Structure 1
């Protein structure tokens, strides 16, 4: 579901991610909308959580905030009145969020902490390893599993006892397709980059040694650890980038430009100033090329990472190099060691939840739920259920009994929920395509019954989180409102503002005096670090010399003395020298930092009102705000609102304390 967030929605929506730990034990009705009560505890909790998030000081004023809050609840009431809560997209989004939120409540804290400790310890090192893979299905029969294991041991003996080269044997025997090219070498990796079983094998194998067969969901691996190095931590760099030429452009254009820039840096010109002027990475150029710090594997270009991590205080500048995105020059700023465990806590929790490690957490939860929801099975019914199974189950051809009447009794109870024999048969039917290789079928049934019982406990526990955890219920209620509000705003405001071209044009015409261009200049801007040279450039420009003539005169193959860039610049922008004015065709030399500038004005574009197309983004945003305010005024007429002012005064006093 695509969502657009207005400033008001953000205020309320952000609150949903924070647990409601400040609920009061007592609450009063603060206001009603069509006799639906809204209470003081929720208002106080939301206000306090959002107090530091809002930028508009008026929203911190309690009178203003109450008005905003009532407006928010009016929209929610309107959404329910329109039946938006029945939409499939809304239901799916709500279900997805609940799934994510519930994970916090379905963890074993001790097991999670142990996995965090282990993962963090492993993050201290990066391992270079090779492997040989022999594929075997997770649910393979014991015989097939044993055969794969024995084959892996035979290959290991060739390497360990026979002295054969691991890479050559990997190329010959590994069922990992990439082994034909890389001879099994996986490069450097650290914790959370490989499946957990493989990671365990790699971190427990000494350098130069070959592991015993390691079982993962892909099969058996033989792992050889080639090298271990310390984690490189994070690095801060700046870069100047020239984008890869578009199709049809001269492929040497970018390389030539980056080499010119590199030459100017070598001549002592400022890296940061050149980045501001010439880097085509607009997200970093205004900051002198500064990038956010990063660690190994965080960028999409390994080439860029390796070039960056090769730099140091002693060797702070890279030569120009190419990536898939263009050409770069990188400057070293600072290196940072691996963050502390506390600083990485949230990140580690997320990685564990997405990793095979999470099975340990679910296994620990299963043990707790067996204690929380003790179960007594109807063994007589269970025996009848087992009798329905036969060897066709292993082939995926087993059929449930045509008449399920006698199997519909209660097999066991979880909390207040009865689970029938028919439920278990349905479960068995879904499992046979990946049937475990346990024989006879009675043993197979016991295996699946234990799994089924654990799943039923987990499902019941999940379904009752709102009853067991009041803060979970509060967050879900707020999220439900937030989702409805987004759907409503899309329907009533955002979509209308995009399609109502007549209304948008009328709004623009009524307020176009505030959408204005300052004076703009179509100009060529010349720069150099040499003031005397720029005086000569100024003289040539006043005589009508072309930009190319100036570059040919002052630049050589070995030295780049003058740079030129051109375009249309609005008065006041940083790229435009300060001494530009409408009545001067060629400016005098001006200075900014280490650089000297001369500007030739090709055309002066007078100040004037922007066309609708030139300012459509801003006009559309302000039109949305206009529509929203009018709409809220209409909602106040549609619904009956009653505020308990005495209660509100007590709320003010409580918050002030």
Structure 2
């Protein structure tokens, strides 16, 4: 007997047919796969098992009816099944636990909000190493002055104010949240201590000298209403505005309705007709005096004295306080943000490392340094870079017992120059990480079906589930509720006439021998 025939016989013995519906054999593994996912099914209880056999039989008959009606031939069906398969396979090419840990690290940063000062020495776009030297030296000289005791703000004002050549910038940034800064800056700022000065730190924007000025516990969000006493004139009579604002404040203290005073006195046309109510906001989203006063209110219903901003005077009433959103509420949006930019290397790091180890990844730094030296003079997308790199044939990495030369990576870099980095070395480094990831993912995809036999069952379950939903919706669920019970009963009788069912009672009575043992941790 050929080997393939012997293997088929062994597979049939290990996974015999438990039921035949409409001429199609259903293996016991598929039956158990669905039964064991239903918490209401007790395979050791005869009545529970019998009830599930009946439900499973009807399920397969309905799928057969959908196939006979060619529901599985529609474009919508094929598209939905294809999209599911892409998502399903992508789920196996990941480490969900590692991703969750990376996201939680970012989430936890948001519990304390940094305010920092930043002296920036800009770099031009597409910077090669030789072009950064002069800028770095200027940044380092400024940092050394501060380290020797000169005042940070004094040095910043001397270097930055009103320079026509825009060669240095000075800024103060308040209340930064995770994922708002460039990654290199965020990783630095969120690991500094108050008063600490760090530099020069390189980002795509240039070299930075950073000072952490303050850390503020995240107070969450507030919702307020306000009465704005302002003027459309550029030069407001602040004395008259304050007098009017104090008059409104006195009326509030006497018990007059806040919303009625909004309607009568507020000059904010956007909120006057809605009681002065503003959307929820966090620190850093409003002008500083306004949000400082709003976050100082303790109890719902409290209101402030008149608070001056560039818009006039505000009287602010607290409507609601919400704490920092829980992790579960932020996880999806953080995941979406992190997977789209250079933070994807943090998000997928544990999976990338796992694949490197699985396929025996070996890195040859000397060969990489030769490519790095090209970055001193050429940006990796320049033709001169490729002209030289494609002539380099030293082994750059070894993976899955295969040596990959520098020239192969250079060709990948030419074809897929996907990086947001503007410094040549960072650009090449990011593309190299993607290159290694593509290799390991392709290797893993080849082994996916062999390593994960449940893939086939999940695809079969989803396929049949789509067909069941579509035909059930047409035959029963789209009709009035009072008609559905009779339509279902009549349909089941019709199915029994159309599609023969044969149950293998011997296999059914010996299910225990086909149930895989549960691993104990």
Alignment TM-score, normalising by the size of structure 1? 0.45
Q: Distance in 2 between matches of 1:349 and 1:130?
A: 29
Q: Deviations along 1:385-432, whole A, 9 cap, x unmatched?
A: x9xx9x9987326789xxxxxx9xxx98749x9999997675253257
- Is it true that 1:223 corresponds to 2:210 in the alignment? yes
CA distance in 1, matches of 2:351, 2:447: 15
Q: Contact 1:126–1:230 (CA<8 Å) still a contact in 2? A: yes
Matched, 1:198 2:182: no
- Displacement, 1:170? 4.9
Equivalent-residue separation in structure 2 for 1:481 and 1:329 (angstroms): 58
- What corresponds to 1:311 in structure 2? 297
| Structure 2 partner of 1:459 | 442
1-structure distance, mates of 2:301, 2:177: 27
Correspondence 1:80 to 2:72: yes
Q: Partners in 2 of 1:433 and 1:188 — Cα distance?
A: 31
**Partners of 1:106 and 1:174 in 2: CA distance:** 50
Could you list the per-position Cα deviations for residues 486-505 of structure 1 after superposition, in whole angstroms to 9, with x for gaps in the alignment?
9x79xx97xxxxxxxxxxxx
SS of equivalent to 2:21: strand
* CA distance, structure 1, for counterparts of residue 290 and residue 19 of structure 2: 58
Shift of 1:194: 2.3
1:429 paired to 2:414:
yes
* Alignment match, 2:110: 123
Pick closer, same or farther for the CA change 1:160–1:303 going to 2, 3 Å. Answer: same
Q: RMSD across aligned C-alpha pairs, in angstroms?
A: 6.7
| Alpha-carbon distance between aligned partners in 2 of 1:305 and 1:94, rounded to the nearest angstrom | 46
Matched, 1:97 2:97: no
The structure-2 alpha-carbon separation of the partners of 1:64 and 1:229, relative to structure 1 and needing over 3 Å to count, comes to: same
Q: How many Å separate the matches in 2 of 1:176 and 1:466?
A: 57
Tell me, yes or no, if the aligned pair for 1:320 and 1:328 is still in contact at 8 Å.
Answer: yes
User: Which secondary structure state, in structure 1, belongs to the residue aligned with residue 439 of structure 2?
Assistant: helix
Which runs of 5 or more structure 1 residues have no equivalent in the other structure?
1-24, 51-59, 242-259, 272-284, 401-406, 439-443, 494-620
**After the TM superposition, which residues 144-543 of structure 1 pair with which residues of structure 2 at under 5 Å, given as runs?**
144-156=131-143, 163=151, 164=154, 166=156, 169-170=159-160, 172=162, 184-233=171-220, 267=255, 309-313=295-299, 316-317=302-303, 331-332=318-319, 336=323, 356-360=342-346, 362-374=348-360, 395-396=382-383, 414=400, 426-430=411-415, 452-453=435-436, 455-471=438-454, 474-475=457-458, 478=461
Structure 2 portions without partners, runs of 5+: 1-13, 42-50, 228-247, 260-273, 388-392, 513-521
| Residues 8-57 of structure 1: CA deviation (Å, up to 9, x unaligned) | xxxxxxxxxxxxxxxxx98864563562637322432454499xxxxxxx
Distance 1:234 1:340 in 2: 12
- Secondary structure at the counterpart of residue 188 of structure 1: coil
Q: 1:32 aligns with which of 21, 27, 39?
A: 21
Which of 37, 41, 48 is the equivalent residue of 2:32?
Answer: 41
Change (3 A) 1:142 1:424: closer
Q: Measure, in 1, the Cα distance between the counterparts of 2:289 and 2:85.
A: 41
Give 3-state SS (helix, strand or coil) of 2:208's partner: strand
Q: Distance in 1 between the 2:478 and 2:289 partners?
A: 44
